[in-house]
Amino acid sequence: MSPLLNEGDYVVAKALLPDDQLHVDDIVIFDHPDVGPVVKSVKTFKGTVVQFCGQSPLSMGSDEMGWIARDRITRKVILLITSTGIKKIDKKTE
């Protein structure tokens, strides 16, 4: 699987409010307690914790990443800006 983000790409993200809905496959930014800010896809939910996955073979795996508290998610990615153009990735408006 090729990565969604490559070196030099940019993302535009909107701040999440506590009541905002998240869905599996949403791309979010969260604060990991060991590695700092991370961009990942939502893999699954279990109560108030979330498991993530990456889209690159080089990505930190969900087992290594661990379960992350929902309140650590700070933003939801809505646009991807690459050398080939802009891609809208907000599911609500697709």
List, in sequence order, every beta strand (DSSP E) within the chain. 10-15, 27-32, 36-46, 49-53, 68-69, 73-82, 85-88
Q: Where are the domains of the chain?
A: 10-86
Amino acid identity, residue 66? G
CA dihedral for 53, 58, 60, 62, sign (positive or negative): positive
pLDDT tens digit string along 41-88? 999 999 999 999 987 777 888 888 899 999 999 999 999 999 999 999
pLDDT digits (tens, 9 = 90+) for 23-43: 999 999 999 988 899 999 999
